[in-house]
Amino acid sequence: MTRLISALFSLFWMTQVTAQECLTNAVETTPDEVFSEVTTDTILHIPTGLIWQRCAVGQTWSDETETCTGDAEQLTWQQALVYTRDYDAELLAGWRMPNVKELASLTERNCVRPSINTSFFPATPEDSFWSSTPSLNDPERVWTVAFFNASYSIKEKQRAVYLRLVRTNRPD
């Protein structure tokens, strides 16, 4: 019985820890109105004119469940660069790794776990995502944005970090 209670408490605690938490009286920094669905798996961020992949690399959009499914992949910075090059080589649509300011524009600074608009970017890993912005002081490090708490940091290029691609909105 003690094990059952302990297991249920652990399950309850894990559920509570992983739920997005937001300030209730704060003005949203990324309300639904600043986004528009371009396709089921791409989202336009209206203020910047950027089109984002809805899911992190490794995940796919499911129309049935209306969420990103599968496991997001963590890549080294070099792997992320190669992935981005190869991904766009097939499509020729201008997909690229975002710079740190572009990536930060997606953060919902009033929320944590994750700090992103979950209506448009569900199942976003609560961890760091690569940017294309290198550190000015250390050539072995690159800026990342953490969607755990909307923080910025510089990480070593050999670290495994998540990736979400972006492209400039352009007429077809």
Whole-structure pTM value: 0.85
Provide the phi-psi class of 88: left if phi over 0, else alpha when psi is between -120 and 50, else beta. alpha
pLDDT digits (tens, 9 = 90+) for 19-76: 888 888 888 889 999 999 999 999 999 999 999 999 999 999 999 999 999 999 999 9
Rounded Cα gap, residues 142 and 101, in angstroms: 13
